[in-house]
A and B are shown apart, each in its own frame.
Chain A
Amino acid sequence: MSLSQTGDRLPASGAARGRQRAPRGLAPILLPTFSLLIVLLAINYFNPRAISYFGFNLMLNLAVPVTLATMAQLCVITVNDLDLSIGAYVGFIACVAATLLASRPWVGAAIILGSVALYAALGALVYLRQLPSIVVTVGMSFVWLGLALLILPTPGGQAPGWLHALVSISPPFVPFPILAALVIAGVMHVVLMQTAFGTLLRGAGGNEAAMARAGWSMLRIKITAYALAGLFGSLAGMALVGVTTSADANMANNYTLLAVAGAILGGAEFTGGRISPIGAVIGALTLQLAAVALNFFRLPDLLPGFRIPSEWQVGAQGLILILILAVRAVISRSEP
């Protein structure tokens, strides 16, 4: 399903061509990097002690699962689809990891692998029947939530020890969440932007018909993209339960929208397979830090005792998204 319908005015064909020819080197990640810097500066201004090894560990404790979920969403966005079930899926995997993976590791592992296979099958279904991914994944979100509730009807469970140990690693100098983000960004950049295989995926997002006519199996491409999403979603679920140590079927529901927001913030467009894995990682981190930065916001001289209530965290994430999109709209309009 193409999501190309944007503003009311159709762009003149010349402008559209001009935009496609624009160099895609560092440009797409400039804006996300800039927004991350602003958020970091704000944190540094209000609470300098937070900019430390320990501070980052605390502020970004949920960044690893969110970043992985964003990568899953990015894989689907690359082939011009959208996954509205990734949050429910992350919750499902977290429930599996906190119950079966701990008690009967082989059964748990088999279920997780089976779920990735189901994701791949979904890609095949969406392609073969030419179904809108939004609706299919809306249906799947019910399925994952239902399965999660069947496995773990009430919040609880216990994460396997090795999983908790893995996300609690304290590497020297660089906090674990940041190291993980760097690794994820690097791997995804190489896979999606530098390999022939990644080029195929992005090509499929750009022009499906042309790819098919050039002899590539669109079926295989879609299956791979969805399988990758399932893989990253599984990693996100396991990382999440490693951090929280217990699970709840509804624990990751807001990841669906957060992952879309992160990918968009990071420079992904909904058409033409134009994505930026590094940008998306930065986007996910920015959204996490922005929510934290709000807690630190205090102006003792001007407004003594004033604090921004925590309910504005989500709102701040929305405002940042709107702001970045506005800046992007202004930039693209001023381009010749």
Chain B
Amino acid sequence: MTLSPRTALLSHWAKQPWLWSFFGALGVYGLVLVFARGHGAWNVLTTALAFSAFTVLVGIGQMFVITLGPGNIDLSLPATIGFASAVAMKVMDGADSRIVLGLAAAVGAGWAIGTLNYLLIRLLRIPPLIATLSSSFVIRSVGISYGRGLQIVPPPGFAYLTTARIGGISLLALLVLAFSAIAALLVKRTVYGRSVLAIGQNMRAARLAGIPVGRVRWLTYTLCGGLGGLCGAFLAGFTGGSSLDVGAEYLLTSIAVVVIGGTSVAGGMANVPGLWGGALMLFMTSTLLNASGLGVGARDLFTGLIIITVITLAGGMRQARQG
């Protein structure tokens, strides 16, 4: 039986797991509007986009790492973000002329941490989880030691850049949106992206097929570290100074948006648009719970329940496909 083009298109869309994250975000957004009696619809949306930009930025890095296959995860992200935010502020030193230099230094610091992580994985033959865990301990101490007494405010130009809005929409969100498009192309259309997927599906087969597995994994960990560094610099500009705890919440949220966004936690399948859906959904949920006056405890509780519900449903889908 041949499907009419329309039905084919429908069934194609129905098979996209990441769509659910957007439906979820939309649903919660609707509830927020009901709660606010329709007030501030645009404001809530733009705020959500501005905050989601940070989550998506680190989410992209974590997504590439998780796509490498079971056991691959970067637990050093929070430490990287905190350290890079201090590096960026110190290098920029409050001067507009040094913004680019500071950004480069932050990305460079993240890149170096990614390389360190990969070296630990490779040389000690330990699971990435343990490698990034141990390095995060060390980076955290280096960060505290380096950033002690650091009270540098971001250069005015950089603070403006990270908080600027174009037509109401955060400039940073637009930049990250553009970068997401590049990341999506990276996954689907480049040799590097294809290699990451292949390694995640079967590392041994990928190696036998001639894929430089070591180099691709190294690149992926440095990509994740570099994006963490960039996020740290942006966060320092956004919040008006560096803080080591600035990255603390991004360990769990970076994993959460990857999962909610429909990327396979078993590796080998990545999805960039879903990261936005996941990030928006998490932000909308906390907005809703704040608006309803339930407080931070209820927000955390619901965030956790959402993650577990999504993974349970997604896991069920995977089983159905195998069966």
* A270-B214 in contact given A143-B305, A145-B300 (Cβ < 8 Å): no
* A261-B124 in contact given A146-B304, A314-B141, A318-B141 (Cβ < 8 Å): no
Secondary structure at the B interface, as helix, strand, loop or mixed, is: helix
- Asked if A139 and B140 make an inter-chain contact with CB atoms under 8 angstroms apart, the answer reads no
* A321-B298 in contact given A3-B71, A139-B308 (Cβ < 8 Å): no
- Asked if A146 and B303 make an inter-chain contact with CB atoms under 8 angstroms apart, the answer reads yes
Does B197 touch A at the CB level, under 8 Å? Answer: no
Does B17 touch A at the CB level, under 8 Å? Answer: no
Residue with the highest number of chain A CB atoms closer than 10 Å, among B75, B125, B295, B303? B125
Residue with the highest number of chain A CB atoms closer than 10 Å, among B122, B217, B252, B255? B252
* A315-B140 in contact given A6-B126, A139-B308, A329-B125 (Cβ < 8 Å): yes
B interface with A by C-beta (< 8 Å) = 69-73, 75, 120-130, 133-138, 140-142, 144-145, 148, 203-204, 213-214, 217, 252, 255-256, 259, 265-266, 295-308, 311-312, 315-316, 318-319
Does A113 touch B at the CB level, under 8 Å? Answer: no
Does A4 touch B at the CB level, under 8 Å? Answer: yes
Does A209 touch B at the CB level, under 8 Å? Answer: no
A interface with B by C-beta (< 8 Å) = 1-10, 82, 125, 129-132, 134-136, 138-150, 153, 249, 257, 260-261, 264, 270, 309, 311-319, 321-322, 325-326, 328-329, 332
Q: Which residue of A lies closest to B147 (CB)?
A: A311
Residue with the highest number of chain B CB atoms closer than 10 Å, among A132, A135, A145? A135
A216 to chain B, nearest CB (A): 22
25 A-B pairs with C-beta separation under 8 A: A1-B71, A4-B70, A5-B203, A129-B312, A131-B315, A134-B73, A134-B129, A135-B259, A135-B265, A138-B252, A138-B256, A139-B303, A145-B300, A145-B304, A146-B296, A146-B299, A149-B295, A150-B297, A249-B297, A257-B75, A260-B130, A261-B133, A261-B134, A314-B141, A328-B124
- Asked if B137 and A7 make an inter-chain contact with CB atoms under 8 angstroms apart, the answer reads no
Partner of A313, one of B121, B126, B141, B304: B141
- Asked if A329 and B217 make an inter-chain contact with CB atoms under 8 angstroms apart, the answer reads no
Q: A146-B297, A312-B145 are in contact. List 11 more A-B contacts (CB 8 A).
A: A6-B71, A134-B129, A139-B256, A139-B307, A143-B304, A261-B134, A261-B137, A264-B130, A270-B130, A315-B138, A325-B130
Q: Which residues does chain A contribute within 8 Å of B256, judged by CB atoms?
A: 138-139
Residue with the highest number of chain B CB atoms closer than 10 Å, among A130, A313, A314? A314
* A5-B71 in contact given A135-B311, A136-B308, A140-B308 (Cβ < 8 Å): yes
Q: Which residues does chain A contribute within 8 Å of B144, judged by CB atoms?
A: 311
